[in-house]
Amino acid sequence: MSEYVTQETFDKMREELQRMKGIDRPAASRAIGEAREKGDLKENAEYDSAKEAQGMLEARIKQLEGIIATAKIVDPSKIDISKVSVLTKVTISNLATKKVMTYQIVGQKEADLKAGKISASSPIGSGLLGKAVGEIAEITTPTGKMKFEIMNIAI
């Protein structure tokens, strides 16, 4: 599945991948080599720890490579704000509680609820996609059905 990201997030992922391949991977190999020199590998906790750390690093490298290979970079200047889409900021009103909230719809990689960023693949995010100002989005969440009125859409 493609991940929608901004150019800034894409660049950060590429920098992280380069750091892991160029600095972290050689450091993990050195740590394994040093632990191997300390004797019997069957009872060498340092060796086991170094191998585990290397495995987690390699898994993260593989994950980032996959995300980068399929990422779709979204240009904020070309976003249509007539309806909710990825990277738009949408102000919604919960019709049951009358609470008004503003969220930016982002890809999974950038989602951060505390920062007001929700994933386009989350129940609320996907339920809002394609809606216009004034429309009601009826969304099934883990806590039940919720209705939100779209109040505003912006960049």
- In the predicted structure, residue 60 carries a pLDDT above the cut 90: yes
CB 107 within 8 A of CB 155: no
Bridge-based pairing state of the strands 89-94 and 100-106? antiparallel
- Contact between 139 and 74 under an 8 Å Cβ cutoff? The reply is no
Which residue reads 């399929």 in tokens?
70
pLDDT per residue over 80-92, tens digit each?
A: 889 998 889 999 9
- Tens of pLDDT, residue by residue over 3-47, are 777 788 889 999 999 999 999 999 999 988 888 887 766 677 888
Residues near 55 by Cβ (< 8 Å), separated by ≥ 6?
Answer: none
**87 vs 153: CA distance, rounded Å:** 10
The architecture in CATH of the region 76-154 reads Roll (3.10)
Contact 88/154 with Cβ under 8 angstroms?
yes
CA dihedral 119, 138, 95, 111 (to 10 degrees): 0
24 CB-near residues (< 8 Å, 6+ apart): 57
123/94 Cα distance (integer angstroms) = 15
Does CATH number 3.40.50.20 belong to domain 4-73? no
| Domain extents in the chain | 4-73, 76-154
Global pTM value: 0.64
